[in-house]
């Protein structure tokens, strides 16, 4: 899973011709998104704080879902493995039968 690492995100307002431009929200040197130029510095920080909290909650919910969903996924994988082993046994048995038939054919030609 990839997270945005908003914990270290910063917002910088760019200026255009002496006028305040959009806010660039960056993390790890990469621009994540832009905020409207009309936001004050306090409002921009509130947006980032909200996004940090949202990211934290979403991350924790994802972990909880994985914990709850793991037994079902494990059960499904175990069923697949059982089915593959059964198919493998069938193929091994068929292979043995074909080998026996080949042995009979080879012996009958000599």
Per-residue pLDDT of the chain (110 residues; tens, 9 = 90+): 344 566 677 888 878 777 888 888 888 888 888 889 898 889 988 998 898 888 889 989 999 998 999 999 999 999 999 999 999 999 999 999 999 999 998 888 87
Residue 32: predicted pLDDT = 84
Residue 9: predicted pLDDT = 79
Name the 3-class secondary structure at 5: coil
Cross-strand bridge partners of residue 15: 20
Q: State the Cα–Cα distance between residues 90 and 72, nearest whole angstrom.
A: 27
* Confidence (pTM): 0.54
Report the b/e string of 54-81 with b at 16+ CB within 10 A: ebeeeeeeeeeeeeeeeeeeeeeeeeee
Residue 76: predicted pLDDT = 95
**Tokens 């079902």 — which residue?**
72
Cross-strand bridge partners of residue 26: 10, 31
């Amino acid at each position: 899973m990839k997270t945005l690492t908003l914990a270290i995100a910063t917002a910088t307002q760019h200026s255009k011709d002496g006028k305040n431009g959009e806010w660039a929200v960056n993390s790890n040197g990469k621009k994540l998104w832009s905020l409207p130029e009309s936001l004050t510095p306090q409002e921009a920080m509130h947006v980032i704080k909200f996004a940090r909290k949202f990211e934290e909650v979403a991350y924790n919910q994802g972990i909880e879902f994985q914990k709850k969903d793991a037994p079902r996924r494990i059960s499904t994988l175990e069923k697949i493995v059982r089915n593959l082993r059964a198919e493998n046994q069938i193929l091994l048995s068929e292979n043995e039968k074909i080998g026996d038939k080949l042995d009979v054919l080879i012996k009958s030609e000599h």
